[in-house]
Amino acid sequence: MAVAYKPVWKCIYCGSREGVLSKEHIVPFGLGGDRILPRASCEDCREKTRKIEEFCLRNHLGNTRMALGVQTRHPKERPTEVRFEVSEGDGSTRVEKWPIERLPVFLVMPVYPAAKRLHDLWDGPLNPPNGTEWLYISDQEALKEISGDGGAVKIGSVDFNTFAKLLAKIAHGFLVCELGIDNFQPLVTELVLGKTDEYWPWVGGTVDWLIPEPTEDLIQVHSYHHKSGYVVVRIRIFPNLGAPTYHVVAGKIY
Ligand SMILES: [Zn+2]
């Protein structure tokens, strides 16, 4: 059931009060999002966040969402078959069509080091190296069938930078809901709006004390207030598949 918060009456990303302010889903609708901030995004920012969501939900998580039957705004556009690009041993590629009802659950997720800012706050052991990917496959046999002998299937497009922006967008909106737009210093809006690509100070991967117990939810979002005043939002997408937890140092209390 959707939960609507009070209208913000200004853009939560750039602060503009001009033009049409539209509602913001804190978690994208296509990831089961049900918290809504009315009158919270200007047209320019809406276009920027839409591109981030579209890339992550379609290109990166599209097949996973289809295999799990996650809600979509465009049910009529859901295909009846998925096309996989298969690279053969000799360097050639071919396209393998696969019926949607037999689609295995594939999930590829980025593995980030802890955010630099969290490193500064936390002196416990931190993390795996950057640039690796976490992979889940529900059905190895189906994968073999798709790839054939000696072939390799491309099963998702992970973009570390764009995915970090999605996490930052979710975290920022979550803090606006929890704290109110005027009650914290936002730290990741420039990242969300693409004014910088430097996500590593603010966005990172698992730190033990931030891992929540998995639930059946598609996504878990919580916040943690550090004594320094920084507020860390932890986000876990597809926890029931054992997917990694992320954190965003998204705000500082004044
Ligand atoms: Zn704006």
Digit-coded pLDDT (tens) for 182-208: 999 999 999 999 999 999 999 998 766
In a domain, 98, yes or no: no
Distance 25 CA to ligand 1 centre (A): 15
pLDDT for 123 equals: 64
Distance 202 CA to ligand 1 centre (A): 20
Bridge pairing between strands 35-41 and 3-4: parallel
Distance 81 CA to ligand 1 centre (A): 38
Number of domains in the chain: 1
Contact of 177 with 24, CB cutoff 8 Å: no
In a domain, 152, yes or no: no
pLDDT for 153 equals: 86
In a domain, 87, yes or no: no
Domain that holds residue 8: 3-78+105-138+159-253
Q: pLDDT tier at 32 (50, 70, 90 boundaries)?
A: confident
In a domain, 193, yes or no: yes
Distance 16 CA to ligand 1 centre (A): 5
pLDDT for 12 equals: 98
In a domain, 88, yes or no: no
* Mean pLDDT to the nearest integer, 216-233: 90
* Mean pLDDT to the nearest integer, 73-100: 88
Distance 43 CA to ligand 1 centre (A): 7
Distance 1 CA to ligand 1 centre (A): 27
pLDDT for 196 equals: 94
Distance 193 CA to ligand 1 centre (A): 9
The rounded percent of the chain whose pLDDT value lies above 90 is 53
What's the CA gap between 249 and 225, in Å, rounded? Answer: 10
| HEC-encoded secondary structure of 26-51 | CCCHHHCCCEEEEEEECHHHHHHHHH
In three-state secondary structure terms, 82 is strand
pLDDT for 26 equals: 94
pLDDT for 95 equals: 92
* 40 vs 216, residue with greater confidence: 40
For residue 188, report the phi and psi dihedrals to the nearest 5 degrees.
-120, 10
pLDDT for 127 equals: 55
Q: pLDDT tier at 210 (50, 70, 90 boundaries)?
A: low
Per residue in 113-152, pLDDT tens?
888 888 777 666 555 556 688 889 998 898 888 888 888 8
pLDDT for 1 equals: 63
pLDDT for 101 equals: 87
pLDDT for 70 equals: 87
